[in-house]
Structure 1
Amino acid sequence: MDESLKCNRLFAVDGLVAVITGGGSGLGLMMAMALAENGASKVYIVGRRENKLREAAASYPDILVPLPGDVTSQDSLQAMAQRVRQEKVTSTCFLAKVYQFNCAATYYTVLALLELLSDGNKRRESDAPHSQVIVTSNMVAFQRDPRYGFAYLGSKAALVRMVKSFATLVVGWETRFNTIAPGLFPSDLSAAALAPFKRAKDKDLSEEGAFARSFLPAERAGSVQDMAGALLYLASRAGAYVNGSVLLVGGGKKATTPATY
């Protein structure tokens, strides 16, 4: 019997340290909750609204750490990195990011924390995954439907390409770079936008049957469990051999519109 193949070993994130930008709400909060529930030692949630961060951290006060900051400000990024460094983290550092801004913010955030990630590699146990950056882009990075808007389509596609380029650039730092490209997930913004497309008005967005199969093969929007599963795969030993990749989590939506993947 090989204990290393047990799911509680393969998908464990015990002792993991994460920094999640945009971690106070939406997909970022889903990620923070997934890590907190599954053994992460510290999860720093970054955002501009301190009250929102504190609300989010209240559910896991010993694990989630509110870290007010602005990823569009290089001074703020340096202060954020210094704060995490002062915690004297001894376990492998894992960096998850949710970007609602632009490629420049992603680029400078990575630069601000790259040394910290490298330090985590030096302290990791021999069988532990290397430090990692996970960038959340969007399924529209692969869509060709101009109704999404050329600027939005282009920015998400550029983000995916930049992450892949980072994976090549930092080989010597032993830091992995991967992308999660989510499709339709409930949020304050998406709820109103998706409402006209619902087939069953009485169903929640994430309830099967909410949408016609021709619109979304899964017939529902993504759930907390869907995002948690994707993140835990990449963050754990199960995904340790994954680098420079894109994980599409879209319920099959790509199959219903012009797309390239």
Structure 2
Amino acid sequence: MDSASLFNVQGKVVLVTGGAKGIGRMISEGYVTNGATVYISSRDAKACEQAAKELNALGKGKAHAIPANFYNLDDVKKLAEELGKREGSKYLKPYLTGIASVLTRYLPLELHVLVNNSGSNWGAPYDEYPSEAFTRVLTLNLHRVFDLTQLVTPLLEKAATPEDPSRIINIGSIDGLRVPSLETFAYSSSKAGLHHLSRVLANHLGKRNITSNTLACGPFESKMMAATLKSFGETIKAGVPLGRIGTPQDVAGSCLFLSSRAGAYINGSTIAVDGGSAIAAKL
């Protein structure tokens, strides 16, 4: 029961949505540097390719880019199909490459970990908050999480065993646990919905040896948080009992725990990765 085996993810196949930037990039690096094969997907194809190139230079694991616009359901379907083909092709001998697209349907395609990280935000005063903000934010932050998870469930099932289930990790937010002071009505609602969707999935998919858990993240350095941290960084730090912003090690380490043998019996949980800010008293 040594730590090396308890937290081992070497050889696992991982899909990280939004894995080229921000928290997703932090998570992707954590997996690659610990020997996993990571597929990075977002609508920014150049960012995906660049991230894969940089991560592959780190060694141990591997990174591959599969760009997809998650607002577009057809793109999500193509992502799931492409992932199956790429993972299936590794079972073919080189001289069978030309017929890989035909044979992969019969091969044991596997996905060990799905990290649903892609997300968007929309801030506006209450009296001016547009209806389209809810459509856009809930589509990406909640609806497409279900769509993608449903589409890759067969790949997750192939990799799963009772002792080593496949894992779904949903990247939520402490704004889905608490009431945020910023006027981000669609974002906080979507993350609260994601937290509960994760629990519902845990109940249904646990029977298929697939766990579903959520990381409710606090403040991290990311594109989404950049403007907020620039304007209110010191105030935000002051509201975190640990007195700092989250680091790549914090969120990557949480994912590695949930993806390894150490986290194999965790299912339906929401873990706050926020330095304690969700429970800090404001008065």
**Pairwise same-fold verdict (TM > 0.5):** yes
- Code of the residue aligned with 2:22 in structure 1: it is G
Q: Deviations over 1:43-73 (max 9, x none)?
A: 1000111100011011233611000112232
The question of 1:57 aligning with 2:52 is answered: yes
Match of 1:9 in 2: 5
Q: Deviations over 1:88-135 (max 9, x none)?
A: 2666621112030231111111111111111112xx5x75x2111111
Match of 1:205 in 2: none
Q: What is the distance in 2 between the residues matched to 1:170 and 1:227?
A: 24
Shift of 1:145: 3.9
SS in 1 for 2:182: helix
Q: TM-score, normalised by structure 2?
A: 0.78
Q: 1:94 aligns with which of 113, 131, 142?
A: 113
Output aligned runs, 1:120-135, within 5 Å.
120-121=159-160, 127=163, 129-135=164-170
SS in 2 for 1:158: helix
Q: 2:172 aligns with which of 137, 150, 159?
A: 137
- Code of the residue aligned with 1:12 in structure 2: it is N
Backbone CA RMSD of aligned residues: 2.1
8 A Cα contact 2:111 2:155, kept in partner = no
Shift of 1:199: 4.0
SS in 1 for 2:28: helix
8 A Cα contact 1:69 1:77, kept in partner = yes
SS in 2 for 1:137: strand
Q: What is the distance in 1 between the residues matched to 2:204 and 2:279?
A: 32
The question of 1:38 aligning with 2:34 is answered: yes
Output aligned runs, 1:1-261, within 5 Å.
5-40=1-36, 42-61=37-56, 63-86=62-85, 87-88=87-88, 93-100=112-119, 101-121=140-160, 127=163, 129-145=164-180, 147-199=182-234, 211-212=237-238, 215-256=239-280
Q: What is the distance in 2 between the residues matched to 1:9 and 1:148?
A: 44
Greater Cα shift, 238-247 or 52-61: 52-61
Q: What is the distance in 1 between the residues matched to 2:212 and 2:267?
A: 6
The structure-2 alpha-carbon separation of the partners of 1:190 and 1:12, relative to structure 1 and needing over 3 Å to count, comes to same
* Identical pairs, percent: 29
Q: Deviations over 1:173-221 (max 9, x none)?
A: 2211111111000112323212333449xxxxxxxxx933xx2211110
User: Tell me, which stretches of 5 or more residues in structure 1 are unaligned?
Assistant: 201-209
8 A Cα contact 2:212 2:268, kept in partner = yes
Shift of 1:138: 0.6
Shift of 1:77: 1.8
Q: What is the distance in 1 between the residues matched to 2:55 and 2:231?
A: 36
User: Tell me, which stretches of 5 or more residues in structure 2 are unaligned?
Assistant: 91-107, 120-139
Q: When the two structures are aligned, how many residues end up with a matched partner?
A: 238
